[in-house]
Structures are given as C-alpha cells and as structure tokens.
Amino acid sequence: MADEALFQFLHNEVIQYIYKSSEHGEMENGRCITKLENMGFRVGQGLIERFTKDTARFKDELDVMKFICKDFWTCVFKKQIDNLRTNHQGIYVLQDNKFRLLTQLSAGKQYLEHAPKVRKHNGGKLTCQALFIPGQLSPHEWFSLPLSLQYLAFTCGLVRGGLSNLGVKSIVTAEVSVMPACKFQVMIQKM
C-alpha cells in the first residue's frame, strides 16, 4: 500500500516535468494542462474500474455525485468534500476547504520559485473558466496561471475520469479562492 506522501511527491514531480517540457517549446496552446488533465482522467478511470465491481448501481446522477464527494474523495484525499451544491440542472459545485494537494503548496516554498505572476479575474477571485477547453490557453496564459491552478488540472481529470467510468460524461473545472480551499465545478454533458 503506497504512502500518501509518495503520491504527493510524484504528483508534484509530474507537474514540474510537464512545465519544464513546455519551456522547451515542445507544447503549444495550453496543452500542458490538457496533458495533466488527460493523465488524471486515465487514473480516475482506473480507480473507479477496480471499485465498482462491488457497488450496486447508483439510482441517479445525484447519487453518483454523492459517491464522488464521499467515497471517492475519501479514498483519494482522505477526507470528504465539505460542501456539495447543485442547480439540479446538471451543474454541481464541490467545495473542499482544505484540499490536500494545495495544503502542501501553501506551506512549502520550494515549488514557488517558478510561480508566475498571479492573474485575477472576477473581482479578486482566481478563476480560469477556459482551463480545460483544449487549445484555448496560449503559452502566455499558461505561464500566467498561478501554480495552484496548475496543481488542480490532474485532479479535474481524476474526477472527469471517475465519472466517465460511472457512465457520466462531464466537463470539470476548478477554482481557487483562498488557499487551500478550492471548488470543482462539474458540468454534466448529455450523451
């Protein structure tokens, strides 16, 4: 059973690798985030694949989201989602007040050497709605992203991948307001 710290170290190093590769011009147009998100997607699929052999089928979409918020989040991040909101029309907002992959970032300075200038939108809230639409982030925009959002790309993919294997197609974005709290927005796509 691999220790949680090992995953965090690996996750950090993966981000650094993707970031460094982009500096050498090997990537264009925000494919860094797409790469990270796609990796997370495959991992999310893999995690759910092994689990749902035992679980009874979920009765509806909300049930699936609750599973993500409780069982899935606990397994991966050792705690549940703190708050789930929905408009009952296919949009869910998952709030984690102390997101484990950000707590290390707040505390440790070592990865902040590369931190680009923070860019604020929406009256002081750090958001990036275009995060996961492939090709829509220019290299300049990627480098303007706060490191915290780069850190969330993998997890967005993780959620999207998990949902995918539960039969739910989605787009997942993330928003950081005050570290280490963050929100994941899930938009269900009708198949």
In the complex, which residues of this chain contact other proteins (CB under 8 A)?
1-7, 9-11, 13-14, 16-17, 21, 26, 35, 39, 42-43, 46-48, 50-51, 71-72, 75-76, 78, 110
**Ramachandran category for residue 85: left, alpha or beta (phi over 0 → left; psi -120 to 50 → alpha):** beta
CA dist 84 and 73 (Å) reads 12
Task: State in angstroms the smallest separation of the CB of 137 from other proteins.
Answer: 19
Contacts of 51 by beta carbon, 8 Å cutoff, 6+ apart = 71, 75
In the complex with other proteins, the residue whose CB is nearer, 47 or 179, is 47
In the complex with other proteins, the residue whose CB is nearer, 9 or 129, is 9
Task: State in angstroms the smallest separation of the CB of 56 from other proteins.
Answer: 15
**How far is residue 106 from each of residues 68, 134, 169, 181, measured CA to CA in Å?**
25, 28, 32, 11
In the complex with other proteins, the residue whose CB is nearer, 105 or 126, is 105
Task: State in angstroms the smallest separation of the CB of 91 from other proteins.
Answer: 26
**How far is residue 24 from each of residues 4, 18, 178, 181, measured CA to CA in Å?**
31, 10, 32, 32
Task: State in angstroms the smallest separation of the CB of 154 from other proteins.
Answer: 8
